[in-house]
Structure 1
Amino acid sequence: MQTDQEIIQRISQGDIEAYREIIQRYQRMIFVFIYKMVNNAQDAEDLTQEVFVKAYEKLSSYRGESQFSTWLHTLARNRTIDFLRRRKMHDSDEQLAYIPSQARDESPQDSLLSKEQRKEIERAFSMLSDTYREVIVLRCTHEYPFEKIAALLGIAESTARVRYLRARQEFAKLLSRTEGGLVHELQ
Structure 2
Amino acid sequence: MNHQSDQYYINKVLEGRVNAFSVLVERYQGLVYTIVYRMVKNKEQAEEVAQDSFVKAYKSLKNYRGDAKFSTWLYTIAYRKSLDAIKASKRMITSELIEEVSEGEMELVGDALNYLQVKERKKIISDSIMKLPEDEAAIITLYYFEEKSVKEIVEIVNLTADNVKIKLYRSRKKLYSVLKHHISPEISSKNGRAI
Q: TM-score, normalised by structure 1?
A: 0.69
With a CA cutoff of 8 Å and minimum separation of 6, indicate the structure with the bigger relative contact order: 2
Residue type of the alignment partner of 2:69:
Q
Structure 1 unaligned blocks of 5 or more: 92-100, 105-110
SS of equivalent to 1:14: coil
For 2:15, the equivalent position in structure 1 comes to: 13
For 2:45, the equivalent position in structure 1 comes to: 43
For 2:65, the equivalent position in structure 1 comes to: 63
For 2:144, the equivalent position in structure 1 comes to: 140
The answer to whether structure 1 residue 165 and structure 2 residue 180 are counterparts is no
1:162, CA displacement in angstroms? 1.4
Write the distance in 2 (CA, Å) between the matches of 1:8 and 1:133: 29
Output one character per residue of 1:7-61: Cα deviation in whole Å (capped at 9) or x when no partner. Answer: 1111111101111111111111111111222222222211111111111111111
SS of equivalent to 2:16: coil
**CA gap 1:25/1:186 in 2 versus in 1, 3 angstroms:** farther
The answer as to whether partners of 1:172 and 1:183 remain within 8 angstroms in 2 is: no
For 1:33, the equivalent position in structure 2 comes to: 35
Residue type of the alignment partner of 2:143:
R
Residue type of the alignment partner of 1:68:
F
For 2:117, the equivalent position in structure 1 comes to: 102
Residue type of the alignment partner of 2:5:
T
Q: TM-score, normalised by structure 2?
A: 0.67
For 1:76, the equivalent position in structure 2 comes to: 78
1:150, CA displacement in angstroms? 2.4
Output one character per residue of 1:88-118: Cα deviation in whole Å (capped at 9) or x when no partner. Answer: 1449xxxxxxxxx8399xxxxxx9xx9xx95
Output one character per residue of 1:110-153: Cα deviation in whole Å (capped at 9) or x when no partner. Answer: x9xx9xx95xx95x755643322221222233233323322322
Residue type of the alignment partner of 1:102:
Q
Write the distance in 2 (CA, Å) between the matches of 1:27 and 1:6: 18
Residue type of the alignment partner of 1:140:
Y
**CA gap 1:37/1:66 in 2 versus in 1, 3 angstroms:** same
The answer as to whether partners of 1:138 and 1:149 remain within 8 angstroms in 2 is: yes
Q: Percent identity?
A: 26
The answer as to whether partners of 2:37 and 2:46 remain within 8 angstroms in 1 is: yes
The answer as to whether partners of 1:34 and 1:47 remain within 8 angstroms in 2 is: yes
Structure 2 unaligned blocks of 5 or more: 95-115, 188-195
Write the distance in 2 (CA, Å) between the matches of 1:182 and 1:6: 45
Residue type of the alignment partner of 2:44:
Q
1:170, CA displacement in angstroms? 4.2
The answer as to whether partners of 1:51 and 1:75 remain within 8 angstroms in 2 is: yes
Write the distance in 2 (CA, Å) between the matches of 1:20 and 1:157: 33
For the aligned residue pairs, the C-alpha RMSD in angstroms reads 3.5
Q: How many residues align?
A: 162
Write the distance in 1 (CA, Å) between the matches of 2:186 and 2:169: 14
Write the distance in 2 (CA, Å) between the matches of 1:57 and 1:102: 43
The answer as to whether partners of 1:7 and 1:19 remain within 8 angstroms in 2 is: yes
